[in-house]
Amino acid sequence: MRARRVSAVVAAVFVACAVDACHAKPSGVTEMQGEPPKETWATIHRDVSGWVVHPVDVHGADVHVQDVDTTAVAEAGPPDAQLVLRGTVRGPVFAADAAFRALPGGSWSPDDVFVRLENDLLVEPNLGVAVEASAVFVPLPDRLKSCPRAVRSCPRGTVPAYVRDVDRCLVLRKCIAPSPCTVLPAPCASGYLLRSWRSPPHACPDYACDAAFLPE
């Protein structure tokens, strides 16, 4: 079975598929004139006079706007080309109400086909073939609640040892008398930050590289 290259958005996650392996998208850029607002998922990029809104739907046509408003998605920050946004064209503005950001290190194109994953299953569109992800995008915010404050006090001679849950929150497992530790972390790739915490069974540091834009 031939794999298709896709850019994916995760959690629901998006993933992306090269146009030579998927359906081609309409070319050209249009101005919205007299059409009712329609919510769409799109990538964005600047041009000389504003922004081009590029729908991830293979049947969507590009739309030119003067500005992109991401204030409804505070975690997205100012608009940039690493975002996939859900929003509506309202006159000269594309107003976003949901956002995904690409994890650093991916190699994707706005012309890729984007698919959505839930629980590691391909949800839409169902391409009917295996897919090869060129990039993965995570929702902003990527968790619904802030992490509870980690417990940091233990009996004398012991230290708290944690595990991280699926939301990257530290969960106390037990208080442990620390042992000598020799494992050093590997360096993180560009765009990622090193996180560390003491973990069972010996209270030695455990490490992870998290995307720099994600909260600790």
The predicted structure's pLDDT at residue 151 = 73
| pTM of the entire predicted model | 0.77
Pick from 190, 211, 21, 216: which is nearest to 100 by CA?
211
For the residues 51-75, what does the mean pLDDT come to? 86
Report helix, strand or coil for 74. Answer: helix
> What percentage of residues in the chain have a pLDDT greater than 70?
75
The predicted structure's pLDDT at residue 12 = 47
Q: In the structure, what pLDDT confidence band is assigned to residue 3 with cuts at 50, 70 and 90?
A: very low
Q: In the structure, what pLDDT confidence band is assigned to residue 4 with cuts at 50, 70 and 90?
A: very low
Q: pLDDT higher for 4 or 103?
A: 103
Pick from 214, 5, 2, 4: which is nearest to 108 by CA?
5
Q: In the structure, what pLDDT confidence band is assigned to residue 17 with cuts at 50, 70 and 90?
A: low
**Mean pLDDT rounded to a whole number for the chain:** 79
